[in-house]
Amino acid sequence: MNHLSYLFAAYSIIFVAVFLYVILLWRRQVRLEAELLRLEDEIRELARKMAPPEDGGASAT
Amino acid sequence: MRPSLGAAFAAAGCVLVPAALFMVFVYVPTEASQGIVQRIFYFHVPCAWVAFLGFGLSAVAGAFYLFFAQQVWDDIGYAAAEVGMLFCTLVLITGSLWAKPIWGTWWTWDSRLTTTFILWLLYAGYLLLRAMGEENEQVARLAAVVAIVAVLDIPLIVISVRLWRTIHPAVLVTRSGEHGLEDPRMLQTLAVSMLAISALSAWLFWLRLKTLRAKSRLFELRRMLATAQAIGDGAP
Amino acid sequence: MLTGFCALLHKDLTLERRGGRVVIELCVLSLLVLVVLVVAYGPETGGRPESAAGALWVALILSGLPGASLAVAAEHENDCLTGLRLSPLEPATIYAAKVAAVALSMAVSQAATLLLLVLFFNLQFDLNLLRLIPILLLGTLGLCALSTLLGTITSRLRAGEMLLALLTAPLYVPELIAGVKASAAVLSGASLAAVVLPLKILAACDLLFVVCGYLLFEYLAG
């Protein structure tokens, strides 16, 4: 049954593609979240150093 | 934007995808004329449905983005187009894998194949624009315009491709034969696969949207930081 | 609105008359495309209406894409587009004038292309050529409407020319198919009935692109 290999190929390609996409997204998300944390810390630091109006503006958004 | 919704999609996918696979490989009877390869269709058709849905959503989100100018619509449009593109690619690949044993060729310029391919090309351009253009509002607006024009253009593409390629009779017969799923178990399998792929794509869309939202937030924070620093530099 | 349109169109045409390069560049591009295609087809296939029609439309799309971006890019020099946006003109008027100017430049080069086509492909100078004109005009209008709309942004990007081609070509597919079908039918002297459906598709596409451009241009020109 040679046709079986086509069937197998089709389904494996679907799941490999989805898997790779998820891995890609996951890695991107991890990187972004690290960067976000870093920036938020930086902003908090800056806000503490600076006068109240900037603090209000920074924490409100 | 509750994270629980994404988890719900993931959970639904975890249940439905194995169920669909079980039905495709064990439960459903083999189709008489095409044999075992016909089982590709139980995932091929849902992939096509999800791809078209993704492109449609991207156009709607594009219109909302132009109208309301809120970043979230831009992110939704981008995520939908990307997930749509993924499934459109899968449709072309699985279709090819089905066509080779049944039609004896990987590719033929049949009207439906051609239309799908042109659609794929359209969104390849869209995603390339997103990837290569700078990440600013202008590029986002252009992407929205492209998505809107593309969706409105689809009916014309369908008509013109039919004119270009007067339909392969053999193809049409097989195609209609394939859609006459005579056994009720075939319809059940198709329905479950439809739900499974929908849940899977909704989850992927959710993940992609999450990264895009994080990115938008990042830009926002960077802008804020730059402003704050500028003020800080100016103050003393 | 009409006075603004006329003023803008007049501005573009005056620029073109005073040593503009759009028309010349389009003509040269079309000539090149035709020569390349004749060489690629070989002398035997010349004279077949299908290959002539195909060559005509390849020349149209390959010269039209750079042509439109040239015309739009001209507005980015010295930031003219911002100046136009500051004027009381509506963005839609600016768009309409720009499309008209590009379409006129393209129509001039189309006339030259048609002449060369007859010579290169051993066609006859007869009534069929006149029938080709409305088909070509419809195709030109659609291409200009589309590429002017998309070119407004892509001409500012780094790989803009490539992106414009990549975005425009698939959207333009219906017009390309219908145009080639109609041109081939006309050149081979088929009856008018064979041209009706392609003409309808061409007209529908033009309508779609022009209306979309007219409504959406203001979001891009901001």
For the segment C177-210, what is each residue's pLDDT rounded down to a tens digit? 999 989 988 888 777 788 888 899 999 999 999 9
Number of domains, chain C: 1
Q: Is residue C7 part of a domain?
A: no
The candidate with the shortest Cα–Cα distance to B222, out of C52, A11, A1, A43, is A43
Distance of residue C70 Cα from the nearest chain B Cα, in angstroms: 18
Characterise C42 by phi-psi region: left (phi > 0), alpha (psi -120 to 50), beta (else): left
Q: How far is B109 from chain A (nearest CA, A)?
A: 21
pLDDT of residue B199: 93
Task: Provide the residue type at C174 as one letter.
Answer: P
Has residue A36 been placed in a domain? yes
- Calpha distance B4→B27 (Å, rounded): 32
- pLDDT 10s digit of each residue in chain B, 236 long? 555 788 888 888 888 888 888 888 888 887 777 778 888 888 898 999 999 999 999 999 999 999 998 999 999 999 999 999 999 999 999 988 888 888 888 888 877 888 899 999 999 999 999 988 777 888 899 999 999 999 998 888 888 888 877 544 444 444 444 455 667 888 888 889 999 999 999 999 999 999 999 999 888 888 888 887 787 776 65
C12: in domain: no
Q: How far apart are CA C113 and CA C60, in angstroms?
A: 9
Contact between B221 and A40 using a beta-carbon 8 Å cutoff: yes
pLDDT in tens, C19-61: 767 788 888 888 998 888 888 887 776 667 788 888 999 999 9
The rounded distance, in Å, linking the Cα atoms of B131 and B127 is 6
Which backbone phi and psi does B31 adopt, to 5 degrees? -70, 140
Of A1, A25, A35, the CB nearest to B36: A1
Q: How far apart are CA A14 and CA C129, in angstroms?
A: 51
Q: Tell me, yes or no, whether A1 lies in a domain.
A: no
At A1-42, the pLDDT tens digits run 478 888 888 899 999 999 999 999 999 999 999 999 998 888
AA identity, residue C70: L
Query: Apex CA B86: angle with CA B82 and CA B89, to 5°?
Result: 135
B interface test, pick of C163, C175, C199, C214 with most B CB neighbours within 10 Å: C163
Please check whether residue A42 touches B, CB under 8 A: yes
User: What's the pLDDT at C204?
Assistant: 94
> Alpha-carbon distance C53 to C50, whole Å?
5
CB-defined contacts A:B, below 8 A = 98
Asked if residue C51 lies in contact with residue C121, where contact means CB atoms within 8 angstroms, the answer is yes
pLDDT at residue B149, rounded to an integer:
92
Rounded to an integer, what distance in angstroms lies between the CA atom of residue B35 and that of residue A4?
A: 10
Domain membership flag for residue A38: yes
Output the six-digit token pair for C75. 């507005």
Is the Cα dihedral A58, B2, B4, B5 positive or negative? negative
The distance of Cα C75 from the centroid of its chain, to the nearest Å, equals 18
pTM over 0.95: no
Cα separation, C149 vs C98, whole angstroms = 10
- Record: contact C150-B156, CB cut-off 8 A: no
| Inter-CA distances, B85 with A52, C12, C125, Å | 47, 40, 48
Q: C149-188: per-residue pLDDT in tens?
A: 998 888 888 888 888 999 999 999 999 999 998 998 888 8
The alpha carbon of residue B63 and the mean position of all alpha carbons in its chain are separated, in whole angstroms, by 18
The pLDDT of residue C47 is 64
Q: What count of Cα atoms within 13 Å lies in the side-chain half-sphere of residue B41? A: 22
Question: Range of C112's domain?
Answer: 21-220
Residue type, C162: M
Q: How far is Cα C127 from Cα B188, in angstroms, rounded to an integer? A: 61
Rounded distance, CA B41 to CA B46, Å? 8
Q: Are B144 and B66 in contact (CB under 8 A)?
A: yes
> What range defines the domain where residue A22 resides?
18-47
Instruction: Check CB contact of A4 with chain B, cutoff 8 Å.
Output: yes
For residues C167 and C154, give the distance between their C-alpha atoms in angstroms, rounded to a whole number: 10
Judged against a pLDDT cut of 70, whether residue A59 lies above it is answered with no
Helix (H, G, I), strand (E, B) or coil at B31: strand
For residue B51, count other CB atoms closer than 10 A to its CB: 25
Using the Cβ of C211 and the Cβ atoms of chain B, whether some distance falls under 8 Å is answered with no
Please report, for chain B, the start and end positions of each structural domain, with discontinuous segments joined by +: 3-234
- List all residues of chain B from 172 to 231 with a beta carbon under 8 Å from chain A: 200, 204, 207-208, 210-211, 214-215, 217-218, 220-222, 224-225, 228-229, 231
Q: How far is CA C61 from the centre of its chain?
A: 7
C201: nearest CB among B121, B142, B159: B159
Whether A12 is covered by a domain: the verdict is: no
Interaxial angle between packed helices B41-68 and B137-164, expressed in degrees from 0 to 180 and rounded to the nearest 10? 130
If 0-12 CB within 10 Å is exposed, 13-18 middle and 19+ buried, where does residue A48 land? exposed
Q: Which residues 95-154 of chain C have a CB within 8 Å of chain B? A: 146, 149-150, 152-154
Is residue A8 a part of any domain in this protein? Answer: no
CA angle B82, B84, B86 (to 5 degrees): 70
Complex ipTM > 0.95: no
Q: What is the pLDDT of residues B161-202, one digit of tens each?
A: 888 775 444 444 444 444 556 678 888 888 899 999 999 999
pLDDT digits (tens, 9 = 90+) for C115-136: 888 888 877 777 778 888 899 9
Which stretches of chain C are DSSP H helices? 2-17, 22-41, 49-76, 80-86, 91-120, 127-154, 160-187, 193-220
Give me the residue from B101, B218, B224 closest to A61, CB to CB.
Answer: B224
Burial class (CB in 10 A: 0-12, 13-18, 19+), C124: exposed
**Residue B236 pLDDT:** 54
How many domains would you assign to chain A? 1
Q: How far is C17 from chain B (nearest CA, A)?
A: 32
Say yes or no for a CB contact (<8 Å) between B231 and A54.
yes
Looking at CA atoms only, how far is residue C18 from chain B in angstroms?
Answer: 32
> What's the pLDDT at B181?
63
Dist CA B197 CA B44 (whole Å) = 10
| Residue C2 within a domain | no
Contact of A48 with chain B, judged by CB distance below 8 Å, is answered with no
- B31 has which bridge partners? B35
Is the predicted pLDDT of residue C1 greater than 50, yes or no? yes
Residue A22: inside a domain: yes
Judge contact between C165 and C69, C-beta under 8 A: no
- pLDDT band (50, 70, 90) for residue C78: low
